[in-house]
Amino acid sequence: MRRALDAAREAVDKALPNPRVGCVILDPAGTVVAVGAHRGAGTPHAEADALARAGDRARGATAVVTLEPCNHTGRTGACSEALIAAGVVRVVYAADDPNPVASGGADRLRAAGVDVEGGLLAGESERLNVAWTHAVRTGRPFVTWKFAATLDGRSAAADGSSQWITGPEARLDVQRLRAACDAILVGTGTVVADDPRLTLRDDENAPLPYAVQPTRVVMGERLVAADARVRDDDAPFLQLVTRDVDAALAALAEHEIRHVWLEGGPRLAGAFLAAGAVDEVVAYVAPTLLGAGATALSGTGIQTLADAVQLDVTDTTHVGPDLRITARPRPLAPTDEDRS
């Protein structure tokens, strides 16, 4: 299973709006005869990829898969049927498929007489596809809020200057994390003030060699000018003419966007946080003090320390002279009303 997870991880930076999945085919003696992986929408699923590589050696074999084989025919055929047709006699998978459209593969395999075992390293499989799993289960995209700030929490100086708070290493690291998402979202205020491209670029402002640029999403009621750089041909563009966070996320879900990289100003971040729509925070903290200037977050509606959003830090990493902190909002404790 770890080899299948590695295959899924190494095959592609992201498969969104689909999950990353790996599959290993073992012959009756336990020898690996094929390794397959999914590489994105419209490409063969991991099981189909592995079966094609295995050929006749799949008959009587065991398939080890990081996600329950699908039971749905869409742009590709159902993996459960492909495994049955290939003569696979045992399937071991990690995580259950949370998608009601595609789930049921394990039951279909059992009905055909295949020995099926699920749950092996399920947690690792879900971590590999945390955004996809969240989006499928909740019906809205997973939102990562990224910001850069000084050690005293300033995102800009008193005169409004903000380039650059962090160093080149951090800025390049942002591009790497952006690439794992399928949309970058800012507000209209950011577009008017900065005229950003919102594309994946290197430290010399040249496009990075990623196969798919994230969709550039602008949220707000002011229409984006026709000559704004965010509208150029370097990446897809989408404007959401709304200030309502839930409406924006619903619209993104309709576009099959699973993972949103939230940038922009402090008010937009505050609106998402107030709506309970921030699932992950990535903060780049520079060893710099300003003492005045804009803060990284505003408009949350929080008035007292008791209402503060508590975070669980999942990672801290030095990136050049700066510190990258990754954290997740802590689930709220159940109230007496919830328990009743």
Q: Which domains does the chain have, with CATH numbers?
A: 2-132 (3.40.140.10), 139-338 (3.40.430.10)
Question: Per-residue pLDDT tens for 310-339?
Answer: 999 999 999 999 999 999 999 865 555 555
Interatomic CA distance for residues 183 and 195, integer angstroms? 17
- Write down the pTM of the prediction: 0.87
Q: Which among 16, 17, 15, 61 has a CA at the least distance from the CA of 35?
A: 61
> Is residue 266 left, alpha or beta, with left meaning phi > 0 and alpha meaning psi from -120 to 50?
alpha
The catalytic residue among 47, 126, 263, 280 is 47
One-letter identity of residue 186? V
One-letter identity of residue 197? R
Question: Per-residue pLDDT tens for 299-308?
Answer: 888 889 988 8
Interatomic CA distance for residues 118 and 51, integer angstroms? 20
Question: Per-residue pLDDT tens for 7-45?
Answer: 999 998 888 999 999 999 999 999 999 999 999 888 999
HSE (CB half, 13 Å, CA atoms) of 121?
17
> Residue 101: is its pLDDT beyond 90?
no
Q: Which two tokens stand for residue 285?
A: 């903290």
The answer to whether 81 is a known catalytic residue is no
Question: Per-residue pLDDT tens for 234-259?
Answer: 899 999 999 999 999 999 999 999 99
Interatomic CA distance for residues 97 and 151, integer angstroms? 42
Q: Is the peptide bond before 266 cis (omega within 30 degrees of 0)?
A: no
